[in-house]
Amino acid sequence: MFEAILIEKDENGQIARLAEVSKDALPEGDVTIRVAWSTLNYKDALAITGKSPVVRRFPMVPGIDLAGVVEASSSPGWKPGDKVVLNGWGVGETHWGGLAHKARLKGEWLVPLEPAFSLSQAMAIGTAGYTAMLCVMALEKHGVTPGEGPVLVTGAAGGVGSVAVALLAKLGHEVVAVTGRLEEGDYLKRLGAAEILPRSEFSEPGRPLGKERWAGAVDVAGGQVLANVCASMRYRGTVAACGLAAGMSLPATVAPFILRGVTLVGIDSVMCPQPDRREAWRRLAQDLDPAILRGLRETVTLAECIPAAARLLAGQVRGRVIVPLNGAE
């Protein structure tokens, strides 16, 4: 038996609780992992609270991230003792996830832990940091280089935004951070932001084309925020869009795209191919200073994940929430 957050559903709706689960109940997979650390992400919080239909099968163990040690494997790519990381692949939605002491998964979903990181540091990065790196790689692919102009990061005090600010600043970009929590300004400047802007500047309907301001942008918000970001991009600027915290709609016009040649790149971290995943983690090991992770993370116990989910959705969490499970660093 082992502990897990278990989401169940009956005629009264769904409920999440801390439960004792039998190892025999683990889903199919060719690798069994002793989970050392997991995380609480925005999607996990939606699943736990039931605020959005994230969970597709019940009962479900949430947790789209995990880092741990292989206990048993029939996969040719992994052997007992290997340290591994998982992000996405529908885990926590259709397949039991990482908010448990054990997990059984497909070997093809795993990536090796980068030697530069401990298991806890890998989860301080987690899907949020890995997604941020995918965004940075997309900007680079489309020609956004340091010195071309400021790069905007929305939702900058959250998990994706915090890592994006740190990465872009270390790579030499002038980073402008957008947040609804201006009290986090000192925190964002420690990460490398050169300027802090209030979210209110982007949350109301604006002109189809605004003043050219940003050479690149990382957007976690979507909705009206993304529309306004696109409208104020410089000629041939690039926006990497990876979130929908402000809504799924895009109330924009084609003007930025056909008059300024703006590129809008969608970033999917869930089903991202293995080569891109491994490159993102390699780049994180190269370009992210592990020392900043201490200020990026909050630690909660497995039992505390349920109340923490509500705080996360209310915008009361800074950076990353990590969950220790089996103690190993």
pLDDT digits (tens, 9 = 90+) for 226-282: 999 999 999 999 999 999 888 899 999 999 999 999 999 999 999 999 999 999 999
What pLDDT score does 278 carry?
Answer: 97
- Residue intervals of the chain classified under CATH 3.40.50.720 are 126-266
Phi, psi angle pair for 64, to nearest 5°:
-80, -5
**Domain 2-113+292-324 CATH (choose: 3.40.50.1240, 3.90.180.10, 2.60.40.10, 3.20.20.70):** 3.90.180.10
**Residue 325 has which token pair?**
């499970």
The pTM (predicted TM-score) of the whole model is: 0.92
What pLDDT score does 166 carry?
Answer: 95
Q: Which of 239, 224, 238, 233 is nearest to 256 (CA)?
A: 233
- Which regions of the chain are under pLDDT 50? none
Name the one residue in this structure whose structure tokens are 């306004």.
Answer: 228
Q: Which of 18, 33, 45 is nearest to 321 (CA)?
A: 45
What pLDDT score does 329 carry?
Answer: 59
**CA distance between the termini of the chain:** 23
Separation CA 248–CA 259 (nearest Å) = 24
Look at domain 126-266 and name its CATH class. Answer: alpha beta
CB 134 within 8 A of CB 242: yes
**Residue 289 has which token pair?**
């200073």
What pLDDT score does 190 carry?
Answer: 94
What pLDDT score does 328 carry?
Answer: 60
Q: Which of 41, 163, 161, 23 is nearest to 93 (CA)?
A: 41
- Residue intervals of the chain classified under CATH 3.90.180.10 are 2-113+292-324
- Three-class HEC string of 16-81: EEEEEECHHHCCCCCEEEEEEEEEECHHHHHHHHCCCCCCCCCCECCCCEEEEEEEEECCCCCCCC
Separation CA 318–CA 312 (nearest Å) = 9
pLDDT digits (tens, 9 = 90+) for 39-79: 999 899 999 999 988 999 999 999 999 999 999 999 999 99
What pLDDT score does 290 carry?
Answer: 86
Three-state DSSP state, 180: coil
